Amino acid sequence: MRLFILSVLLVSSAFSKGQNNLKQVDHLLDAIFPEDQPGIAVAIVKDDKTIFSRGYGISNIITKSKITATTNFNIASLTKQFTAAGMLYLQKKGVLDINQSIDHYFPDMNRNVSEKATLLQLLTHRSGIIDHYDFVQVEKGKHGYARQVYEAIKNKDSLYFTPGSSFRYSNTAYCLAGLILEKISGKTYKDFIRQTFFIPLAMNHSTVWNEQEKIYNAATGYDKDSTTGQFIKSQAEEHVFFSTEGDGAIYTSVKDYAKWFQSLQHASILSQKDIALARSIQNPVPDQTGVGYGFGWFVNARQQPAYIYHSGGNGGFRTYSFSIPALNYLVVIFANRSDINIEQVVMQINQILFPDLPPLVPVEVLTS
């Protein structure tokens, strides 16, 4: 305990000395992201205050709209933490048990799979269920929602491994978790997330993607042509899995996401016990001592204070959330260009504000 407190004090001291370095962060990002190209939105939270929030670049090449802290981005796999939080919320209400096998919710699923895998294993990537990216094909322009993913995998009788015996990052697992939220709540995934989290937290412009809905102040995702260097509108919204609920369909802004982080810090919706559970290692990542997966987040507990992080990528969008809960610190970046190493940008910001912070373990190492 003494070592933990000393570590927190040392890192906090490093930050207090570096608070004036927010200008340095601003200069860094200005240099990386030209004002006439797709770019990023950034928010930094410390001690219950958003101490920095700004956009760099444009949200749409045609309209030349500037990115701001309220610009909405597809956050891709950062959606998973909302799905996991929804599960914990319903468990707190006493209407589900995350240790229950999933056959209770999917009676027509192959029982060799559904009887072995639990809700807990879905959330921690230990289910062994085959990922739909490996085999599901949908006609271009026809969106594959979570229900469509389920219909494609429900008769599969094979697993990557015996549930609970290993780790393999799975988008399908979170699609199934999203469907379970719908079954238990009696609401669509969109309405459940909106009513449970977005409305109570005044995340006023956050939503779940839907073909029929125009999203307020939404950025357009872009890819960079490797030959011409020109930015081209990504075909992300034609990607068959762009819209799968549960694993990657939420749109939000860095301003709204900062509210989400602060709600977790203060346990305003979930209990402190559940938040601690979500932010602790439930499943160690092989060959990465002290690193593992919680509920919707990666956890690095190699040193204290531990830090929590996750990345997201979908077409022309890249997202990254990094936090040190013990220091009440968050940096979140959303980008509408696929050509950047967003993790590297986060690390550069951390090095300015926390010079003594150990380096991240790259997410691609953890998910590959």
How far apart are alpha carbons 263 and 315 in whole angstroms?
A: 29
Question: Per the domain annotation, does 31 fall within a domain?
Answer: no
**Domain residues for 279?**
2-20+46-367
CATH label of the domain that carries residue 62 = 3.40.710.10
Question: Per the domain annotation, does 27 fall within a domain?
Answer: no
pLDDT of residue 238: 59
Task: Write the DSSP string, 137-185.
Answer: ---TTS---HHHHHHHHTT---BSS-TTSS----HHHHHHHHHHHHHHH
The C-alpha angle 309, 349, 297, rounded to 5 degrees, equals 5
26 has a pLDDT exceeding 90: yes
Question: Per the domain annotation, does 349 fall within a domain?
Answer: yes
pLDDT, one tens digit per residue, over 319-360 is: 999 999 999 999 999 999 999 999 999 999 999 999 888 777
Question: Per the domain annotation, does 80 fall within a domain?
Answer: yes
Q: How many domains does the chain have?
A: 1
Q: pLDDT category, 365, cuts 50, 70, 90?
A: low
Q: pLDDT category, 8, cuts 50, 70, 90?
A: very low
pLDDT of residue 233: 93
Question: Per the domain annotation, does 30 fall within a domain?
Answer: no
Question: Per the domain annotation, does 208 fall within a domain?
Answer: yes
SS (H, E, C) 337-356: ECCCCHHHHHHHHHHHHCCC
pLDDT, one tens digit per residue, over 171-206 is: 999 999 999 999 999 999 999 999 999 999 999 989
pLDDT, one tens digit per residue, over 268-319 is: 999 999 999 999 999 888 878 888 999 999 999 988 899 999 999 988 999 9
How far apart are alpha carbons 175 and 266 in whole angstroms?
A: 28
Model pTM score: 0.92
How far apart are alpha carbons 241 and 144 in whole angstroms?
A: 5
Q: pLDDT category, 125, cuts 50, 70, 90?
A: very high
Question: Per the domain annotation, does 317 fall within a domain?
Answer: yes
The separation between CA 179 and the C-alpha centre of its own chain, rounded to angstroms, equals 18
pLDDT, one tens digit per residue, over 215-242 is: 989 999 999 998 999 999 987 665 666 6
Question: Per the domain annotation, does 41 fall within a domain?
Answer: no
Query: CB within 8 A of 210, min separation 6: which ones?
Result: 190, 243
284 preceded by a cis bond (ω within 30 of 0): no
